[in-house]
């Protein structure tokens, strides 16, 4: 049964509770794998300097979110309403520390991380379900694999190192 006020379903709610990574697409762009934290019927994603890059998400009003199931495959894709939690607000004071506490590999205490997010202009984005999700047979059957994007982080392939000379007979 769908809750029309939230645009959520039990499948979306359950998938969000278990989500650690969400594939988020903004304005029809490529879906990016982003670390997320579920909180109060929404996914929270932190982007910005020193955090994950998600071009356009901080300024977007809507996005597409895809979540995977326990088997590792895609189980649901849903439209999301994107809102930004602003530093200095009551929402920031309650939300940012909870998200920071779930941030793996963060250096320093949670309070320092929250202060850095505010000082560096990082965005804490709230992704709230806002429409009819696609699940099961409604999902496309293709793998949605894309060729690797161009990157400056490439290495030249070198010949294997040998300790001795190989003689031919």
pLDDT tens-place string over residues 35-46:
999 998 899 999
Range of the domain at 100: 10-129
Confidence (pTM):
0.77
Domains in the chain: how many in total?
1
Flag whether 123 is in a domain.
yes
Flag whether 136 is in a domain.
no
Flag whether 3 is in a domain.
no
CATH number for the domain spanning 108: value is 2.30.110.10
- pLDDT tens per residue, range 96-155: 999 999 888 888 899 999 999 999 989 999 999 998 887 777 667 776 677 777 777 777
Flag whether 157 is in a domain.
no
Long-range contacts of 86-93 (CB under 8 A, 24+ apart): 87/117, 87/118, 88/118, 92/118, 92/124
């Amino acid at each position: 049964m769908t809750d029309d006020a939230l645009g959520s379903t039990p499948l979306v709610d359950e998938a969000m509770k278990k989500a650690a990574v969400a594939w988020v697409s903004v304005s029809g762009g490529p879906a990016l794998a982003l670390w997320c934290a579920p909180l109060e019927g929404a996914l929270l994603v932190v982007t910005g300097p020193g955090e994950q890059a998600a071009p356009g998400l901080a300024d977007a009003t809507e996005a597409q979110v895809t979540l995977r199931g326990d088997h590792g495959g895609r189980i649901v894709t849903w439209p999301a309403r994107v809102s930004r939690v602003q530093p200095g607000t009551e929402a920031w004071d309650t939300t940012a520390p909870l998200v920071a506490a779930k941030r793996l590999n963060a250096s320093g205490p949670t309070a320092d991380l929250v202060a850095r997010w505010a000082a560096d202009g990082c965005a804490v984005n709230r992704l709230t379900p806002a429409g009819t999700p696609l699940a099961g047979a409604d999902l496309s059957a293709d793998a949605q694999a894309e060729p690797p994007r161009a990157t400056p982080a490439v290495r030249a392939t070198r010949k294997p190192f040998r300790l001795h000379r190989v003689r031919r007979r």
